[in-house]
């Protein structure tokens, strides 16, 4: 009689959902924190070099946090091997530099709630890229239905029930945030690809560090400046570093041990936390608290449940 294969703890559905929820809680706080950061560091929405400098500082700090924590937990200095550099620089380009150049400039021209919701479209894109381009998994009816349910939730809360053609989208705002989600989708699949042979914690830490340095260099070269104006500047930038350090590291671990769809469908939880945190920090209650938000969140939860239901074959 065959012995049952012991399931990795990171592959257990409750662990996946709870860990993904923690990541989404952190990501949900990112957009309002960025807007607050612009204010306390004296960054104008049109000052691209200063935006890059601000973003680069955050990610450099995130990288140092991950490298330090990983080194302590693994009882060794987390240094890349020769084989690690391809993955590090690929992820630094996709997950940090390209994604956040678009994201940080987009978030400066749209609301925190709207940014959080549109950013959740990356979940839909990630599943499509995983299935159609990287061929990591097969497309199933459950994945299609779950993705459609979650994506409809995103559309409902973004448009507040209005026709999409009448929604006040702009390329400089919502358009750039959407483009950033495409880069994120490819980055998620790249993490799964490279983590087959590499430590996802090491990849996360060093790609953030180098990606952050690149963005800081671009910002400084363009004349970017940060002018701290409040005592909250230091704890804010440290927390923003932790958002990336914690969320992307755990997300990378989940992607290493699970199908991309099982993990990324949970990304639709971003709107749940995004609308709540933005409402609290930015006072966007009229945009966050209404019947459309409730409908959207129900659709998001439905999508997660459908994709993560055990299949009959596995029963």
Closest CA to 267 of 167, 81, 130, 69: 130
Q: How far is Cα of residue 299 from the mean position of the Cα atoms in its chain?
A: 20
In this predicted model, what pLDDT tens digit does every residue of 193-238 receive, in sequence order? 998 888 989 999 999 999 999 999 999 999 999 999 888 899 999 9
Is the pLDDT score of 147 beyond 50? yes
Q: What integer best gives the mean pLDDT of the chain?
A: 82
- What is the mean predicted confidence (pLDDT) over 63-68? 95
Closest CA to 84 of 186, 205, 188: 205
Six-digit token pair at 147? Answer: 């993705």
Q: How far apart are CA 55 and CA 204, in angstroms?
A: 16
Higher pLDDT, 304 or 241: 241
Is the pLDDT score of 315 beyond 70? no
Q: How far apart are CA 159 and CA 28, in angstroms?
A: 19
- What is the mean predicted confidence (pLDDT) over 4-10? 66
Higher pLDDT, 300 or 158: 300
Give CA angle at 73 (263, 94), nearest 5°: 45
pLDDT at 1: 43
Closest CA to 252 of 206, 306, 305, 311: 206
Query: How many angstroms separate the Cα of 183 from the Cα of each of 130, 243, 288?
Result: 13, 19, 27
Closest CA to 123 of 309, 271, 268: 268
pTM equals: 0.79
In this predicted model, what pLDDT tens digit does every residue of 244-286 receive, in sequence order? 999 988 998 898 888 888 888 887 777 677 777 767 766 766 6
In this predicted model, what pLDDT tens digit does every residue of 33-53 receive, in sequence order? 888 898 999 998 778 899 899
pLDDT at 28: 79
Sequence-distant (6+) residues with CB within 8 A of 83 are: 197, 198
Buried b (16+ CB within 10 A) or exposed e, 84-106: beebbbbbbbbbbbbbbbbbbbb
- Above pLDDT 90, what percent of the chain? 29
């Amino acid at each position: 009689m065959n012995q049952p294969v012991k399931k990795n703890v990171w592959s257990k559905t409750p662990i996946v959902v709870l860990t993904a929820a923690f990541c989404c809680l952190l990501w949900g706080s990112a957009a309002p924190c960025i807007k607050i950061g612009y204010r306390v560091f004296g960054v104008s929405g049109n000052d691209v070099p200063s935006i890059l400098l601000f973003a680069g500082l955050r990610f450099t700090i995130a990288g140092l946090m991950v490298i330090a924590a990983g080194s302590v937990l693994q009882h060794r200095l987390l240094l890349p091997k020769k084989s690690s550099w391809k993955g590090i620089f690929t992820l630094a380009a996709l997950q940090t530099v390209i994604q956040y150049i678009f994201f940080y400039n987009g978030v400066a021209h749209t609301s925190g709630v709207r940014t959080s919701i549109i950013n959740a479209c990356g979940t839909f894109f990630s599943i499509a890229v995983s299935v159609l381009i990287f061929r990591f998994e097969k497309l199933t009816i459950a994945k299609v239905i779950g993705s459609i349910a979650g994506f409809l939730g995103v559309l409902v809360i973004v448009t507040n029930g209005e026709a999409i053609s009448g929604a006040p989208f702009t390329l400089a705002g919502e358009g750039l945030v959407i483009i950033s989600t495409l880069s994120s989708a490819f980055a998620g699949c790249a993490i799964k690809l490279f983590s087959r042979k590499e430590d996802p914690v090491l990849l996360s830490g060093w790609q953030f560090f180098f990606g952050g340095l690149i963005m800081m260099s671009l910002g400084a070269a363009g004349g970017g400046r940060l002018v701290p104006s409040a005592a909250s500047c230091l704890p804010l930038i440290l927390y923003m570093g932790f958002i990336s350090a914690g969320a992307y590291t755990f997300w990378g671990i989940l992607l290493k041990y699970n199908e991309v769809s099982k993990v990324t469908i949970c990304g639709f939880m971003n709107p749940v936390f995004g609308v709540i945190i933005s409402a609290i920090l930015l006072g966007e209650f009229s945009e966050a608290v209404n019947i459309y938000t409730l409908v959207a969140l129900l659709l998001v939860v439905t999508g997660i449940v459908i994709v993560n239901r055990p299949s009959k074959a596995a029963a």
